[in-house]
Amino acid sequence: MEKKMKRETVVVLDFGGQYNQLIARRVRECNVYCEIYSYKTGLETIKALQPKGIIFTGGPNSCYEPGAPTYVKEIFELGVPILGICYGSQLMMHLLGGQVEKAPVREYGKIEVTVNRDSKLFADVSEKTICWMSHNDYISRLAPGFTVSAHTDNCPYAAMENEEKQFYATQFHPEVLHTQEGKKMLSNFVYKVCGCSGDWKMDSFVEESIRALREEIGDGRVLCALSGGVDSSVCAALLAKAVGKQLTCVFVDHGLLRKNEREQVCEVFGENGDFDIHFICVDARDRFYSELAGKRAPERKRKVIGREFIRVFEAEAKKIGMVDYLAQGTIYPDVVESGLGGESATIKSHHNVGGLPKHVDFKELIEPLRNLFKDEVRQAGRELGLPEELVSRQPFPGPGLAIRIIGEVTPEKVQIVQDADAIWREEVGKLPPAQRPSQYFAALTNMKSVGVMGDERTYDYAVALRAVTTTDFMTAEVTLLPTETITTAANRIVNEVKHVNRVMFDYTTKPPATIEFE
């Protein structure tokens, strides 16, 4: 749907590096639309996109080794500006006649780089600026026509360019936050080199999407599974604005939601909410609890929940009958991580992409958020008038609290983890936004231990608190929170939540632990 709109596009050509989605996100933060394509994508496809600029990403290989990811040299003849980053910079040199070799000293970490401020790429950047380096190879000879535009103590060619041809290359990573002025560099590339005007804005995205959805759907009927998470809520809100009563949203309460989540979703989308749609809230708590009874193994629990969810959803869909469209809140990282977008491996097969209810009667799938990153989805949600509480929600797994309760799930345990989690979120929520972790929640360990309350001994559950910082959820660091936040929450939990007499803080990174507990 989106492709029909003619808008400036920058293409990220993915050579397998870990920061590739980040590059696209940073470009979009500059209000320039950006898409990721694998280096295996043919030149004709890239050409057809009429990109305003192309960015070669980093990657784990050595470009001079046989079989390393590469691209046809004709890409340099399109007349389109190109920026090569890390592996991308080396590949650009390698293909254009320079030389790349194993570096005598591996550069890794935050390194001071001296830049030539006359370069368009470094306009308004400080002469000495901290950049993030991570490379084993280095460029030992520039390709003909290139001049050096930045260096470090160990790296004579930290950045280089051929201004006439509009080819730029950096050995460091401007896309990561450790590169202090990286955003300025990317902004210089898209504005000063590629000549973009910055036509990618969420208000116009919302407006254009509503128009396009109306055109596509006509007087058809749409069914949308609403989970209460950010993506499906924004998807539903967009469709609600576009086609109103033609939309039916089905929200399944599987009894594994966070505290008050069902009420919040019903308030926004239900009868007295802001949208004029058909809204069905299915109370399936008992069904899920009885199916989960006695099940202890994580995978078993996940399977039961997945299966029951589809059964409940299908039963509702049957009552509604044939619909024309099934709407899903698939977002861009889901698409990329499922191996459909860039190159960065098929890391996990997302339940969102091409998944969910295969047997529901619908003619076509619509995914209006398919090209958006999470922060853009949140912004679109704000444009659509969704409450901040809903729009800024943390990621929440489909199996819900069931994977935050180790072992068997019971209604009593759900209540404990809901109450503890609400307190933890409230306390962490008091921190300034910049200090808040990417994801934070309480989990219920499957452990009881002895405590003392008043004069009495207790034998009750231990709650674990988790707080992690991550950009991609593939790896995660433990967020170092103020001690007071942790102790206040721990005190409140043992005092306010029945059957908890111990609170622990999880200090494990991912890997080796996962973010969730099961």
Residues that bind ligand XMP (CB under 6 A): 395, 397-399, 439, 473, 510, 514-516
Q: Cα 92 to the chain's mean position, in Å?
A: 29
Q: Compare residues 273 and 398 and give the one whose CB is closer to ligand XMP.
A: 398
Q: Compare residues 142 and 230 and give the one whose CB is closer to ligand XMP.
A: 230
In the complex, minimum distance from the CB of residue 317 to ligand XMP, in angstroms, rounded to a whole number:
20
Residue with tokens 């060619």: 157
Q: Compare residues 355 and 387 and give the one whose CB is closer to ligand XMP.
A: 355
Q: 257 φ, ψ to 5°?
A: -90, 165
**Letter for the amino acid at 410?**
T
Helix (H) or strand (E) holding 480: none
Q: Cα 198 to the chain's mean position, in Å?
A: 22
- What is 161-204 written as a DSSP string? EETTTTEEEESS-TTSTTSTTHHHHHHIIIIIIS-------HHH
Residue in 376, 339, 374, 375 with CA at minimum distance from that of residue 354: 339
**Rounded distance between C-alpha atoms, residue 459 and residue 437, angstroms:** 32
In the complex, minimum distance from the CB of residue 178 to ligand XMP, in angstroms, rounded to a whole number:
22
- Catalytic hit among 30, 34, 63, 86: 86
Q: Compare residues 379 and 439 and give the one whose CB is closer to ligand XMP.
A: 439
Q: Compare residues 156 and 398 and give the one whose CB is closer to ligand XMP.
A: 398
> 31 CB contacts (<8 Å, ≥6 apart)?
198, 199, 200, 201
In the complex, minimum distance from the CB of residue 395 to ligand XMP, in angstroms, rounded to a whole number:
4
**Rounded distance between C-alpha atoms, residue 478 and residue 487, angstroms:** 17
In the complex, minimum distance from the CB of residue 514 to ligand XMP, in angstroms, rounded to a whole number:
3
In the complex, minimum distance from the CB of residue 263 to ligand XMP, in angstroms, rounded to a whole number:
22
Q: Compare residues 382 and 510 and give the one whose CB is closer to ligand XMP.
A: 510
Q: Is 29 among the catalytic positions? A: no
Q: Is 101 among the catalytic positions? A: no
Q: Compare residues 29 and 516 and give the one whose CB is closer to ligand XMP.
A: 516
Q: 480 φ, ψ to 5°?
A: -85, 100
- With 0-12 CB in 10 A as exposed, 13-18 as middle and 19+ as buried, what is 380? buried
In the complex, minimum distance from the CB of residue 474 to ligand XMP, in angstroms, rounded to a whole number:
8
Q: Is 175 among the catalytic positions? A: yes
In the complex, minimum distance from the CB of residue 298 to ligand XMP, in angstroms, rounded to a whole number:
10
- What is 283-320 written as a DSSP string? E-HHHHHHHHTT--SHHHHHHHHHHHHHHHHHHHHHHH
Residue in 240, 245, 193 with CA at minimum distance from that of residue 219: 245
- Catalytic hit among 8, 107, 161, 175: 175
Contact 85, 56 (CB under 8 A): yes
- Catalytic hit among 173, 194, 196, 254: 173
- Identify any residues that bridge with 253 across adjacent strands, giving them in sequence order: 283
Residues serving a catalytic function are 86, 173, 175
